């Protein structure tokens, strides 16, 4: 069907984090491909773009004050990297730092080999680990014979893992690993919204361990194919790379579970902003949406448009909008729609990063891994520690050590009332007790991230589905996306930004076809 090019299309992307920037990038790409005359605006409430991505370059250090890396097997960020020409900037994790520790009774134990998302797939290392008692290991083995749960109803991640593997595996291994991604409580997190593959493993194989073992080789093969650009990818991401075995990106993805950029994750933000500027996108900071209202027949083609009010007093009209904002902000903006307003009820947890730099000679213990995780049951202040300079060799001079400690999780947000000095003192006390590290740091950097970690409660997917359906019916041409919906990692946010852009493109095409 031949497409008609109508008058100028005005598109607003609200939110300049990685979701919003990705949405704007893919909207601009569609405009080029379809020959649309499009005016795209990105409005960010804060004074900087990038959202939680915040790289500090200081005294030879590359310091991530927000996220520090991404899962290489998730293809949306690999696809975007290729499209921006950043392949040469990718950096793999130090292969000598693959070991991760978990604290148990005040002692660091290496995670047993063969774990896949905290699920044991190899018997010998699992039975040898000091993280679990012998009865705890035997209880986990019951997973092989316990019946599968029938029905489609959602359940909590913690309830599921306890049912399949027992409480000790949950609290000692799975919870610090899996709940740490969301800074949440596994007994409050939705299984279907966080790790639906666990339910599928149980359903297909009658056992979580058996299903995880069966899926391991298949997942590795799929990741290899996706990295090589053979078209095997997750969701709507698509694969855009070459199939050549010599492809350096494919090799990196195969060799390293995590990747980053040599100049820090801000490299991606800088490249996106440069691409958007080339496309003539209006980039605005310090500009917050305060209201959105629908205008019938506001564009020349008889379609629907929207009047948007900003906190600077300006009012502008747009034909389509992407709201790449926290769910509580979207719920406030669209509170006339009950299902969308209910998004405000999705809880968010506040967390902080405390980064410390030391002289290498002051760190007595050899940091022979990527860091350690701290279960709730240990009663420590920090929830995890990344040995950044061991995990990422480009982040510090060779005679320095960089550590990144995490503070805060669901039910443990008392740190919000602490001063910076108190935060550093509490973190250093934990490092002394766990690593014997008592030296004064060369410097510290603190990043406070209030209400930054969305929690996906049981029934989350139903709530999001209801909101999207009501929004599509009441406000066509308005898309919602972000970490509060379908995944908190950078690749997940990029995927959602791309999907939102595709929804906007589909809206314009449907209007053209209908002749509305």
Render 323-362 in DSSP notation, one character per residue.
E-S-HHHHHHHTTTSHHHHGGGGS-EEEEEEEEEEEEGGG
Beta carbons within 8 Å of 482's beta carbon, 6+ residues apart: 15, 17, 19, 323, 324, 325, 326, 327, 493, 496
Q: State the pLDDT at residue 437.
A: 93
Beta carbons within 8 Å of 184's beta carbon, 6+ residues apart: 349, 409, 410, 453, 455, 456
In angstroms, the Cα distances linking 308 to 198, 236, 287, 315, 333 are: 42, 29, 12, 6, 10
Tokens of 174: 């799975």
User: Within the chain, how many helices (H) and strands (E) appear?
Assistant: 19, 22
Q: State the pLDDT at residue 366.
A: 73
- What percent of the chain lies above the pLDDT cut of 70? 91
Mean model confidence pLDDT for the chain: 91
Q: State the pLDDT at residue 255.
A: 86
Beta carbons within 8 Å of 293's beta carbon, 6+ residues apart: 306, 307
Q: What is the DSSP letter of 377?
A: G
Q: State the pLDDT at residue 485.
A: 98
Dihedral pair phi/psi, residue 495, rounded to 5° = -60, -45
The Cα–Cα gap between 507 and 509 comes to: 5
CB burial readout 33-69, b (16+ within 10 A) else e? eeebebbbbbbbbeeebbbbbbbeeeeebbbbbbbbb
Q: State the pLDDT at residue 304.
A: 67
Are residues 497 and 19 in contact, defined by beta-carbon separation less than 8 angstroms?
Answer: yes
Where along the chain do its domains lie?
9-51+267-346+458-514, 55-97+348-454, 113-215
Pick the CATH number of 113-215 from 3.40.50.2300, 3.40.630.30, 3.40.50.300, 1.10.3110.10: 1.10.3110.10
pLDDT tens, position by position, 278-336: 999 999 999 999 999 998 754 444 456 999 999 999 999 999 999 999 999 999 999 99
Nearest CA to 250 out of 446, 87, 485, 385 is that of 87
The Cα–Cα gap between 115 and 122 comes to: 7
With tokens 């050590």, the residue in question is: 401
Answer whether residue 237 shows pLDDT above 90: no
Q: State the pLDDT at residue 510.
A: 82
How many C-beta atoms lie closer than 10 Å to residue 376's C-beta? 17
- Homologous superfamily (CATH) for 9-51+267-346+458-514: FAD/NAD(P)-binding domain (3.50.50.60)
Beta carbons within 8 Å of 33's beta carbon, 6+ residues apart: none
pLDDT tens, position by position, 448-502: 999 999 999 999 999 999 999 999 999 999 999 999 999 999 999 999 999 999 9
Q: What is the DSSP letter of 414?
A: G
The Cα–Cα gap between 115 and 209 comes to: 10
Helices (H), 454-514: 460-474, 483-486, 490-514
Angle between helices 75-83 and 266-278 (to 10 degrees): 50
Surface-to-core class of residue 429, CB atoms within 10 Å of its CB (0-12 exposed, 13-18 middle, 19+ buried): middle
pLDDT tens, position by position, 198-222: 999 999 999 999 999 988 767 666 6
Answer whether residue 247 shows pLDDT above 50: yes
pLDDT tens, position by position, 355-373: 999 999 999 777 889 999 9
How far is C-alpha 18 from the geometric centre of its chain's CA atoms?
A: 10
CATH code of the region 55-97+348-454: 3.90.660.20
In angstroms, the Cα distances linking 328 to 303, 323, 347, 451, 480 are: 29, 12, 9, 10, 12
């Amino acid at each position: 069907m031949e497409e008609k090019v109508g008058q100028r299309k005005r598109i607003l992307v609200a939110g300049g984090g990685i979701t919003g920037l990705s949405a704007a990038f893919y909207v601009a790409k569609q405009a080029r491909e379809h020959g649309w005359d499009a005016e795209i605006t990105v409005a960010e409430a804060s004074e900087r773009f990038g959202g939680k991505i915040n790289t500090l370059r200081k005294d030879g250090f590359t310091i991530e004050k927000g996220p520090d890396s991404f899962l290489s097997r998730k293809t949306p960020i690999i696809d975007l990297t290729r499209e921006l020409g950043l392949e040469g900037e990718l950096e793999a994790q130090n292969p000598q730092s693959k070991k991760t520790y978990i604290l148990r009774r005040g002692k660091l134990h290496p995670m047993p080999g063969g774990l896949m998302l905290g699920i044991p797939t190899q018997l010998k290392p699992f039975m040898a680990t000091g993280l679990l008692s012998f009865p705890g290991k035997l209880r986990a083995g019951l997973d092989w014979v316990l019946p599968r749960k029938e029905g489609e109803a959602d359940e909590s991640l913690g309830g599921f893992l306890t049912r399949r593997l027992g409480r000790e595996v949950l609290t000692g291994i799975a919870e610090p690993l899996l709940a740490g991604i969301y800074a949440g409580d596994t007994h409050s997190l939705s299984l279907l919204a966080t790790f639906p593959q666990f339910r599928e493993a149980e359903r297909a194989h009658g056992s979580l361990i058996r299903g995880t073992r069966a899926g391991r080789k298949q997942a590795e093969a799929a990741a290899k194919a996706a990295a090589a650009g053979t078209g095997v990818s997750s969701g709507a991401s698509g694969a855009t790379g070459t199939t050549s075995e010599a492809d350096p990106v494919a090799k990196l993805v195969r060799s390293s579970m995590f990747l980053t950029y040599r100049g820090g994750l801000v490299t991606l933000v800088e490249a996106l902003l440069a691409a958007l500027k080339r496309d003539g996108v209006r980039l605005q900071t310090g500009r917050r949406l305060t209201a959105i209202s629908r205008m019938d027949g506001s564009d020349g083609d008889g379609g629907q448009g929207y009047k948007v009010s900003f906190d600077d007093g300006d009012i502008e009209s747009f034909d389509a909008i992407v709201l790449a904002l926290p769910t509580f902000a979207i719920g406030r903006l669209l509170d006339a729609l009950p299902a969308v307003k209910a998004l405000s009820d999705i809880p968010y947890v506040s967390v902080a990063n405390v980064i410390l730099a030391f002289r290498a000679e002051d760190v007595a213990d050899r940091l022979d891994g990527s860091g350690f995780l701290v279960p709730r049951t240990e009663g420590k202040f920090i929830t995890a520690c990344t040995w950044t300079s061991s995990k990422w060799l480009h982040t510090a001079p060779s005679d320095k050590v960089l550590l990144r400690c995490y503070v805060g999780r669901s039910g443990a947000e008392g740190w919000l009332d602490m001063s910076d000095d108190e935060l550093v003192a509490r973190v250093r006390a934990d490092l002394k007790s766990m690593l014997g590290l008592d030296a004064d740091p060369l410097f510290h950097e603190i990043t406070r991230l209030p209400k930054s970690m969305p929690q996906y409660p049981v029934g989350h997917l139903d709530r999001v589905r209801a909101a999207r359906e009501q929004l599509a019916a009441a406000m066509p041409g308005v898309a919602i996306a972000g970490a509060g919906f379908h995944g908190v990692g950078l690749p997940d946010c990029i995927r959602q930004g791309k999907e939102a852009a595709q929804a906007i493109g589909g809206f314009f095409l449907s209007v053209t076809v209908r002749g509305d």
